[in-house]
Every structure is written in C-alpha cells, then in structure tokens.
Amino acid sequence: MVHVILCCFALLVECSWGAGFLHRLQPAASPLSVWPKPRNISIGQTSASVSHLLSFSGDISDPLVSKAIDRYKELLFPHEGAADGDIKTVAVKLGSGGGEGYTLKVTPEGIQIAAEAPVGVQYALETLSQLVSFDFDKSVYVTQPVLPLTIQDVPRFSHRGLLVDSSRHFLSVRALKRLIRSLSYAKLNRMHWHITDAQSFPINSRIEPSLASKGAWSSRERYTLEDVREVVKFAQEHGIVVVPEFDMPGHTKSWGKARPDLMALTQDKFSDGNSAALNPNKEETYKLVQALLMDWMTGSPKEKGKPAFFDTPLVHLGTDEVPYKAWTQLGDSRGLFRSFVNRATQMAQGLGKEVVLWEEAFKDGKPSQKAIIQVWLDANVARRATDAGNRVILSQGWYLDHLDDTWEAMYDREPASLVSPDKAKLMIGGEGCMWGETVDGGDLEQTVWPRLGAIAERLWSDPGGKAKDAQPRLASFRCLLLERGIPSGTLQGRGRSTPSGPGSCSEQ
C-alpha cells in the first residue's frame, strides 16, 4: 500500500513539475541534516542564499496553510539585519487527496512545495527550515550545500505521538501549547492527553461539576471548557490530533471524592494511589460514564453554548491496572472487567469515536476488533492483538519517565518486528509516554527531549539505520530545539540530563 501511494504521489509531482528528476531519487543516505530523515531525496552539492523577504504564492489561502507560513517565516529568519538573498520565492501546490506526504524542491531559482493536505505543507516548511541557517560573517541566510534538492517524503506510520500526564502533576494550558509546538518540529501528529487518574480530576464537566471541584489538586489546577478547546484548536493548527484519555475503571480514586457511591475500594496500599475502581455492578456508574463522554466528546449540538470539549476523532478509555481486589465481593472480577470494557467501548463508538484501550483490555477480555490496543508492558501482545485483527500502538520500550533508558535504545526499537509480516498494516504507530509522577511544567520538555526525537524518527522514517549514524543529525536537531526556546536534555546522558561542562550545543 505504501509503495502504491508513493508511486501515485510521484506521478502527481512529475506531471506537475515535468518529467526527469524522479528517477534520480535515492534513499536518504547523504550529508543532508534533517530530522526526522526524509523518505527519498535527490541531492546536489551547492548552496544558495535565501531572501529573508521570501514570497509565497500559489495555494496559500487555506487557513492552516496560511498559519503555517506565518509561523515558519519567523522560524526561518530569526535574526534582524540580514542581507537579501538569491532564493526569493516559494510556490505552493495543494491537492485534495489527503495524507501527510509532501514534495519539496529547492534550487537557486526558487522553492516548490507540493502536498495533498495542509499538514504536508507544514512538514515541507519544517524540512525547509532545517535546511536554512544564518551566516553571521556575511549576514545572509544560506542553505545547506545540497542544491539542487528534491525531497519526496511521507511518514511510515500514521500514529506518531506523545502521552502527557496532567493528573499526577497539573500542566497549564501554556505548558501544553509549548509542548505541542515542539511536537510539530519532529513531525509528530498525536498528543495523548492522560487527563484523569487516581491522583486528580482536573477537567471540568457540565454534567457532574463536583468531580473537578472536589477531585482536582486545587481550585487553580483545573481546565475549563474554553481551556480544552483552546488546546485542541492550537494542536490542530500544528497538525496534531489531541487524544484525551479518561482512565477507567481503575485509576479512578479521584472520582470517589465526589461520587463515593460509585466506588469499590481495596485496602491494599498502592504507591501510585490506584486503590479504587468504579463499581461495575451499579447501573448509575454506566449512566455517569455515558453522560461524561457525551459532554466531553460531542457536547449537545442542539443546545446553544454546549459544544464538545474535544472535537477529535479518538478517545482513550484507559482500562489498565484495574485493582481487581476491589471487586472481590462483587463477583467474577475479570468477567466484570470484560463487561465494563465492552459497554464503555460501545458508548464511545456510539458517539462516533474511535476507541483506544491499554493492553489489559485485550489480555483480560475480548474487546471490539475495532478498538485500538496500546501495548505498554508485554511486547508479545502486539502480535496477539494484530493476529486477532486489532490495530496496535506501541509504547513498550518508549517510556520517557524511565530516566535510565537512552535515546539509542529508543531509536533501535522497531515496531514492525513485533507483528507478523502479513499483519504489518495493523501496527499503526506508537507513542512515547511521559508519565507525570516526577515531572511538571518545570522540567517536562527537558525530560521529553531529545529522546522523543529518536521515537519520532523511528515512526516517520524507513526502518534500518543505526543510532551512531543518526547521532550528528539528532545533535543538530537538539540545537534547533534550543534555538527555538524548547528545553532539551543532552544526548550524552539519560533522561533529564544536563551538560557536564562548557561546550557547543552539538557536543552535549
């Protein structure tokens, strides 16, 4: 399927720009310094200067394209007082076929971008921004010595994301937006927002306001409807889909502060506070779950002033680490779990949403074949779930809160190796997971980057390649993050590492 898509895309671009260059496209093994590594390139050996007054023309009226151009003008040209350059124009051709692929052609005469969707234009601009740097001695912007250059690029996996946890520590809207901005630089397209957990319930609800008023850490650590919609809109403008997670039926102790009547408790002392579960024997439990999902995911279209919090296609229903001992007096714990998972899944699907579940839903139950299974603990579940017909997201091996795990180990993790070759299309991608026990807005990005960059390239680029060969490009990408004001750890250490002494950013 990918081969067919690439061939069709190649034909489109060849017809648009003339025949003759596509036969020279080669796998991206070159001095080109771009992260993540593009799919195919045709590369030269010269550079050219770029005008800081770069003019865009063509299909630029689309709102998402227009916003991306405005952002990248600032990112391309951060220094004042630059001299004019030879490359003065960018021609944009936007199709209507969808997808995230793009073609970028750069010559001394100008720049051409072709894409089938606005996000492809954004990705082309990100690649272009990494090709251009400021020559301080000549006071002019110049490209890498790779012209004439043609890049034909498309992501390998459709789901490329980061889980962020705002229950263990609250994360402000501004912190989330800065994180989203950084995700777009690595061409990631999902932010899995783990909002509720045993520790806190920070999201407001029009159905049951007391859940947040009693369950949040404090009165100031909560999200309004407008806060959530602002995050979702900001993410959409950066090519990112927000996937909200409302963890259930376990990890729900915070729900009990407002609704103790719906909780089942265990006396076991869990270090993560996961010592309560929703009571699956009470019909009122399901009424509340249904009402909350409707409130958050669809709103009330017929009632003015009641829009959805999350106007997004995916919802994560948790289902991990249920403290079964809380249900020992209620009946067959695993039977109750299967029933809960199936009913909650049907509710979300009935609202027109695709459902993501943690791997326990597959191991301990029989979830809908349409449900996406997120593998985090047992890599063998990936093969079993895809063999059963479920799509899979990989997170096992990509836990960013494991501070001893190196970027090299994350880079070498290969999702396709975990499933049968004939089921490869059901491995739809993966997520790095930044659980919030030991991070908050003060050190979030420094812990996420640069290791998330390794995951991003593994999910975008062709398989193969070694970490040692990728290291110079990742070091350059880390410098780019720092230049753009995004905190990042070092490549030399592990999670949340800091420089060991003076030196260039590329040496850390």
**Three-class secondary structure assignment of 184-222:** HHCCCCEEEEEEECCCCCCECCCCCCHHHHHHCCCCCCC
Q: What is the pLDDT of residue 304?
A: 73
The span from the CA of 457 to the CA of 470, in Å, is 10
The span from the CA of 467 to the CA of 169, in Å, is 32
Average pLDDT over residues 41-64: 97
pTM of the predicted protein model = 0.92
Average pLDDT over residues 419-426: 97
The span from the CA of 508 to the CA of 504, in Å, is 7
Q: Residue 14 above 80 pLDDT?
A: no
Percent of the chain whose predicted confidence (pLDDT) is above 90: 87
Q: What is the pLDDT of residue 23?
A: 30
Tokens 């909560």 locate to: 222
Q: Pairing mode, if any, of strands 132-135 and 49-58? A: unpaired
Per-residue DSSP letter, 147: B
Q: Is 196 exposed, middle or buried (0-12, 13-18, 19+ CB in 10 A)?
A: buried
Q: What is the pLDDT of residue 506?
A: 82
Q: What is the pLDDT of residue 48?
A: 97
pLDDT bin (cut points 50, 70, 90) of residue 71 is: very high
pLDDT bin (cut points 50, 70, 90) of residue 464 is: confident
Q: What is the pLDDT of residue 470?
A: 96
Average pLDDT over residues 136-162: 97
Percent of the chain whose predicted confidence (pLDDT) is above 70: 94
Q: Residue 12 above 50 pLDDT?
A: no
Q: Residue 360 above 60 pLDDT?
A: yes
Give the pair of three-digit tokens for residue 463. 């398989």
The span from the CA of 66 to the CA of 437, in Å, is 39
Q: What is the pLDDT of residue 397?
A: 97
Per the CB < 8 A criterion, the answer to whether 144 and 47 are in contact is yes
Q: Residue 80 above 90 pLDDT?
A: yes
* Torsion sign (Cα): 30, 35, 36, 42: negative
* Torsion sign (Cα): 376, 378, 382, 384: negative
> Following DSSP, what letter does each residue of 279-345 receive, concatenated?
-TT-HHHHHHHHHHHHHHHT--TTSTT---S---SEEEEE--S--GGGGTTTS-HHHHHHHHHHHHH
Give the pair of three-digit tokens for residue 211. 């859940």
Average pLDDT over residues 178-193: 98
pLDDT bin (cut points 50, 70, 90) of residue 154 is: very high
Q: Pick the range with the lowest mean pLDDT from 73-77, 146-150, 266-270.
A: 266-270
Alpha helices in 358-466 (DSSP H): 360-363, 380-387, 407-411, 444-448, 451-460
Q: Residue 29 above 50 pLDDT?
A: no
pLDDT bin (cut points 50, 70, 90) of residue 20 is: very low
* Torsion sign (Cα): 323, 329, 332, 337: negative
Q: What is the pLDDT of residue 460?
A: 98
pLDDT bin (cut points 50, 70, 90) of residue 31 is: confident
Per the CB < 8 A criterion, the answer to whether 400 and 432 are in contact is yes
- Average pLDDT over the chain, rounded to whole? 92
Average pLDDT over residues 473-477: 97
pLDDT bin (cut points 50, 70, 90) of residue 18 is: very low
Q: What is the pLDDT of residue 21?
A: 32
Q: What is the pLDDT of residue 213?
A: 97
What digits encode the pLDDT tens for the residues 300-322? 877 777 999 999 999 999 999 99
Q: What is the pLDDT of residue 1?
A: 42
Average pLDDT over residues 334-338: 96
Q: Residue 340 above 60 pLDDT?
A: yes
Average pLDDT over residues 30-56: 94
What digits encode the pLDDT tens for the residues 204-216? 999 999 999 999 9
Point out the residues that are catalytic.
321
Which is more confidently placed, 122 or 500?
A: 122
Q: What is the pLDDT of residue 495?
A: 84
* Torsion sign (Cα): 325, 327, 330, 333: negative
Per-residue DSSP letter, 481: H
CA distances from 82 to 48, 108, 137, 169, 439 (A): 14, 18, 11, 43, 40
Considering only CA atoms, which of 183, 232, 182 is closest in space to residue 203?
232
Residues in the chain: 508
Q: What are phi and psi of 174, to 5 degrees?
A: -65, -40
Q: What is the pLDDT of residue 282?
A: 97
For residue 246, the tally of other CB atoms under 10 A from its CB is: 25
Spatial CB neighbours of 430, under 8 Å, sequence gap ≥ 6:
157, 159, 160, 161, 393, 394, 395, 398, 415, 455, 458, 459
Q: Pick the range with the lowest mean pLDDT from 16-30, 72-86, 107-121, 444-458.
A: 16-30
Per the CB < 8 A criterion, the answer to whether 396 and 370 are in contact is no
Q: What are phi and psi of 169, to 5 degrees?
A: -135, 135
What digits encode the pLDDT tens for the residues 258-298? 999 999 988 777 777 888 999 999 999 999 999 999 999 99
What the chain holds in terms of domains, given with CATH numbers, is 10-153 (3.30.379.10), 159-483 (3.20.20.80)
Average pLDDT over residues 186-196: 98
Per the CB < 8 A criterion, the answer to whether 372 and 356 are in contact is yes
